[in-house]
Structure 1
Amino acid sequence: MNLKTSSKPSVINEVHWENGLTYDEYQQLIDSLLKINQTTGNNHSEKQLAYTRLNVQRMNKWDKITKLSADLIESAEKIDSSQKWLILTEAWCGDAAQNLPAIQKIADLNDKIEVRYLLRDENLDVMDAYLTNGGRSIPKLIILDVEFNELANWGPRPAPAQQILKDYKKNESVNYDEFSVNLHTWYAKDKGKTLQSEFTLLLSGLS
């Protein structure tokens, strides 16, 4: 996790926002691309398509079963000024599929929060302002006020999941497939609890 709260001008502007997709539009885009054997971005290999199909299943699952904690609901409902939540993502990204359904459910708790989804590779000007350890890691949430000043950001994954990635990069004996299994097993066991704790803390600083 990279969670930061601040108040400063951002690189994001009205054009980025207007180009963003709603959650439903993002899901519809993925479905329409898969029908023609494509995904978001320029890599339409079978491996990327397989990741994307799996991610659709993950998102559908979390859309159905995610239940938000009472503390998180309280923190979200206390927000009393309009916010714009811009999320950088791609259809093939496993971390995005694991986290976006819960983030959207959090935003849906308060009608002062609007959410838009931007494809990372089509918006590198934004992505490169929000690197994680020098990498273009997603998903990345940037919380803005109505004048596009940054209030906070979160991403690309909860802290324990980020630690799994760090450990993988240090351990040359673990291959990518093993890392991926470890990561997504953690998500399955955690059931979004860590993300919810992190967002409870983040939003309590914004109300």
Structure 2
Amino acid sequence: MKKIIENALLNSYTYVEYRELVSQLISEGKSTGHTQSEDLLKYSELNETRLKRLDKTIVVNDESLFRLENLDKKYTWLVLSEGWCGDAAQLLPIINKMAESSKNIDLNIVLRDDNEELMNLFLTNGGKAIPKLIVLDAETHDVIADWGPRPEPARKLIADYKAANGVVDEPVKIELQKWYLNDKGNTTQNEIISLLKKEKALV
């Protein structure tokens, strides 16, 4: 596992680099990932708009800010993502703002399709769901915790709809985006902070 993580870190992007990569590919009529399609490009373009808005509007809440400013040592946050992923577009700006709030967090982003070995270590119910946040000890690269691909209320919204209707289609995707909009990133922040407290990465 350690070798896989270290290889991923060598091929990782900063948040700014990731945003620039996704934008550049869109300008070329492409999406990130090994599969190209009109739908994936359309989702990438939609996500680009979301990212621009969220980068301006997301605020780290007071509780999270206090906790992040008082981290006891340095951590690396490694996130698996793709530009076409709607959940990643909603969650990466939050994760980035949290990382920026602490001098002890270094955020690195890798593309899922380019890091299959890493993704396979952090499957969700056997699936390659993203985004996936992996919290590492910055010095040893030991895995402290992982989180994702969605905050619990969002996960439940999708799971309940799929159980009732057998599919995840446009109506529930719209409901999911509304949930993210109304939540303003607070649940994601609270869940990540709770996870860090549980793993004793926070005092």
What interval of TM-score do these two structures reach, taking the shorter chain for normalisation? over 0.9
More contact order relative to length (CA 8 Å, sep ≥ 6) = 1
Check conservation: 1:141, 1:154, Cα contact below 8 A: yes
The change in CA–CA distance for 1:159 and 1:175 in structure 2 (over 3 A counts) is closer
How many residues in Structure 1 have an aligned counterpart in Structure 2?
199
Check conservation: 2:68, 2:101, Cα contact below 8 A: yes
The aligned amino acid for 1:82 is K
Structure 1 partner of 2:55: 63
Q: How far is 1:44 from its partner?
A: 2.3
Give the 5 Å matches for 1:112-131: 112-131=104-123
Q: Which runs of 5+ in 2 are unaligned?
A: none
What is the Cα-based RMSD across aligned positions, in Å?
Answer: 1.5
The change in CA–CA distance for 1:132 and 1:173 in structure 2 (over 3 A counts) is closer
Q: How far is 1:193 from its partner?
A: 1.6
Structure 2 partner of 1:193: 186
Structure 1 partner of 2:45: 53
Structure 1 partner of 2:153: 160
The aligned amino acid for 1:44 is Q
Check conservation: 1:21, 1:116, Cα contact below 8 A: yes
**Deviation per residue, 1:87-125 (Å, 9 max, x gap):** 000000000000000101101111221111110011110
The change in CA–CA distance for 1:16 and 1:57 in structure 2 (over 3 A counts) is same
Check conservation: 2:87, 2:149, Cα contact below 8 A: yes
TM-score by length of 1: 0.91
Structure 2 partner of 1:42: 34
Give, in whole Å, the separation in 1 of the partners of 2:166 and 2:133: 32
- Does residue 169 of the first structure (1) align with residue 162 of the second (2)? yes
- Does residue 150 of the first structure (1) align with residue 178 of the second (2)? no
Q: Which runs of 5+ in 1 are unaligned?
A: 1-8
Tell me the SS of whatever aligns to 1:86: strand
Structure 2 partner of 1:102: 94
Structure 1 partner of 2:73: 81
The structure with the greater share of residues assigned to helix is 2
Structure 2 partner of 1:6: none
